[in-house]
Amino acid sequence: MPPLGMILGVVALRQIRRRGQRGKGMAITGIALSAVSTLLIALFFATGAASDFWKEVEEAADEAASYQTVGDLRKGDCYNLPGGGTSDGTEVSEIQVVDCAKPHEAEITGGFKITGFGKFPGESVLEPIAERRCDDIDTAYAMDAWAIPATMSGYYYIPTKESWSTGDRRVSCGYATEGGRKTSGSIRRDAGNLNTDQAGYLTAENKLLKAAYEEPEKDFPQAVAGHLAWAKVTSSAMGEASAALRGRTWPGVVAAAVEKRAGEIDKARAAWSKAATAKDEDTFWEHVFEAEAVLNVKTEKTIRQGLKLSTAEPVQDEERA
């Protein structure tokens, strides 16, 4: 009867794979213990069927071993969800880690631990914290926004009320596709795989992106002060970006284009400064559009081509996935 435990273990692993159920550890343990008592018997039945059976056992065990809990995810992990795709608000306990070179649904950019709370504060408190912190973590990991597939967008996991009660405080940040769509290759572009010129250029440009993300969610009439503050922040960010571009020596192949880009940013900064003091909505957007008009994407492409960065224009957030 020893083989029965092994067979049930394989069946259990298949069910875990299909249904996203828990119990992987018990299934593997059952296979391992049963394998010990079955080894001598198996030696007497070294037929083709037995060989296929062992192969299936090994494959099932290998696949189960690739599953991890969400809390075990670490920076650089690429993974798939047992249910086939990510979904806002879905509670997930286990995921399948895969090689980033192979098709996958998501990639972890990093994480952090929640502090300052005793009792579970609620999702409404944790989500804004996760969104704000993960934005910075995502950008530091995937510095080149142009290299992020259009099918991917920012994503994070926060502790549930149940996991919080067991001491879970970790937030995992990353990018994920929607609806189970797959992508291949890592989106990681950081100091570990960028040269100093590439990293320097992207750092400067990302100051503009970060400011752009600060746009108020409400329309101008409902958030006048917020829009004026956003314009002031953007103007300041552009000043920092221009200074960063001019603050280093660039390779000859891109030096002229970088100086041109810095000049464009200076002009845009002046327009955003005017927007920050606008007296009405029409004037505000007039200056914003003026700022956008002087930023030439061709200049960016010239720099990117010279630095061997992606030259495929990024997809706007509202167009993603």
Per-residue pLDDT in tens (0 to 9) along the chain, 321 residues: 444 343 343 433 333 333 333 344 444 445 444 554 555 445 555 555 555 655 555 555 555 455 667 778 889 999 987 665 555 556 666 788 999 999 999 999 999 999 999 999 999 999 999 999 999 999 999 999 999 999 999 999 999 999 999 999 999 999 999 888 999 999 999 989 999 999 999 999 999 999 999 999 999 999 999 999 999 999 999 999 999 999 999 999 999 999 999 999 999 999 999 999 999 999 999 999 999 999 999 999 999 999 999 999 886 655 554
Sheet holding 78-80, edge to edge: 67-69, 94-98, 78-80, 106-113, 170-177, 152-157
Structure tokens at 268: 């845009």
Residue 80 lies inside a defined structural domain of this protein: yes
Same domain, 10 and 92: no
- Of 18, 46, 65, which marks where a domain is finished? 65
Look at residue 71 in the predicted model and tell me its pLDDT: 72
For residues 119-147, one letter each, b for 16 or more C-beta atoms within 10 angstroms of the residue's C-beta and e for the rest, the string is ebeeeeebeebbeebbbebbbebbbbbbb
Mean pLDDT of the chain: 83
Residue 206 lies inside a defined structural domain of this protein: yes
Look at residue 316 in the predicted model and tell me its pLDDT: 61
Residue 34 lies inside a defined structural domain of this protein: yes
Please give the tally of structural domains in the chain: 3
Same domain, 206 and 269: yes
Model's pTM, two decimal places? 0.75
d(CA 252, CA 6): 66
How many helices and strands (H and E) does the chain possess?
A: 10, 6
User: Could you list the residue range(s) of the whole structural domain that residue 290 is in?
Assistant: 196-319
d(CA 244, CA 255): 13
Cβ neighbours for 282, distance < 8 A, ≥ 6 positions apart: none
Look at residue 309 in the predicted model and tell me its pLDDT: 98
